[in-house]
Amino acid sequence: LQRVELSDGDFIDLDWLSDPQADINAPILLLLHGLEGSKDSKYIQSILHKMKSYHWNIVVMHFRGCSDEINRLPRSYHSGEIEDLKAVLAIVREQHPESVIIAAGFSLGGNVLLKYLGESGEDSLINVAAAISVPLLLSSASARLDKGFSRLYKNRLLKELKRKTVEKIVNHSPDLSLSVSQVEKIDTFYDFDDQVTAPLHGFGGAVDYYNRSSSRQFLSGIAVPTLILHAADDPFMTKDVIPEENELSGSVTFELSGQGGHVGFIYGGWPWNTRCYIDERVPSWFKS
């Protein structure tokens, strides 16, 4: 575990996969989890298991407050926050100056990754990337989560976000204009982003946050080989999030499957012979 002190006095935690066979100059694989995820998320554990045989140096970046320890500041993380990623990349590059840096982002982590790549362009410290099940248009994803089966995901994630927010109100009450009762009344992602995410991170409301943080607008600026995996039946998305070909830079490979769900892509005979396409496609992309 490596604790990274940030310029604003807060911190984030990096979890390194210890592999005695990994050379100091072997590629670095940086993994970015999704909303309220961590190194223990199933998709992170799955890719970690698959990549062990590569003998690379692998690190999971935890977003603020996602490593089971409350942060010092009222602010948290969000889909468009790339400054923390920049800080981590600078440290990784300093510690491993000769290594290729490879990154995989899942869901929210994929949005952060793509936004960073698009804004950085040729100056990216990441050499190769993959982004899986990314909410490329945050407004559409937010609205989709209030419909049908997707509400099951919404209720679970929103409950955890509200719990953490209440905890921060208790610990940072002089710095937060929200009350516990206000937070408890929130029942949609839009309201959470409008009342919590936006004001805590300098946005003028949920719409402003969505417009400025959605990664789709940055895809044309990506300058390093980047794979984007997306499923048409993703319960977090609508077809509106799928970019047009002219929105992609020549460095982006966009793969759309009819099925796959959200960070799933499971296929094969159920239940004893299932396989995960992510665990096959992403490593092969990186290796090639």
Backbone angles phi, psi at 241, to 5 degrees: -80, -15
Per the annotation, the verdict on 194 as an active-site residue is no
pLDDT at 79 over 70: yes
pLDDT category at 269 given cuts 50, 70, 90 is: low
pLDDT at 154 over 90: no
Per the annotation, the verdict on 107 as an active-site residue is yes
Per the annotation, the verdict on 62 as an active-site residue is no
For residue 237, give the 3-state DSSP assignment: coil
pLDDT at 274 over 80: no
Contacts from 173-178 at CB under 8 Å and sequence distance 24+? 175/73, 175/74, 176/74, 176/200
The dihedral sign for the CA sequence 58, 81, 153, 255:
negative
Residues 111-133: tens digit of each pLDDT: 999 999 999 999 999 999 999 99
pLDDT at 270 over 80: no
pLDDT at 18 over 80: no
Helices (H), the chain: 42-51, 83-95, 108-120, 138-144, 150-171, 180-185, 189-192, 198-200, 206-213, 277-287
Catalytic residue from among 13, 193, 194, 234: 234
Catalytic residue from among 107, 142, 150, 213: 107
pTM of the model: 0.95
pLDDT at 104: 98
Residues listed for the chain? 288
195-201-202 Cα angle (round to 5): 90
Between 208-212, 213-217, 257-261, the lowest mean confidence (pLDDT) is in 257-261
Backbone angles phi, psi at 210, to 5 degrees: -60, -45
pLDDT at 28: 96
pLDDT category at 67 given cuts 50, 70, 90 is: very high
Contacts from 1-5 at CB under 8 Å and sequence distance 24+? 2/59, 4/87, 4/88, 4/91
Averaged over 213-224, what is the pLDDT? Answer: 98
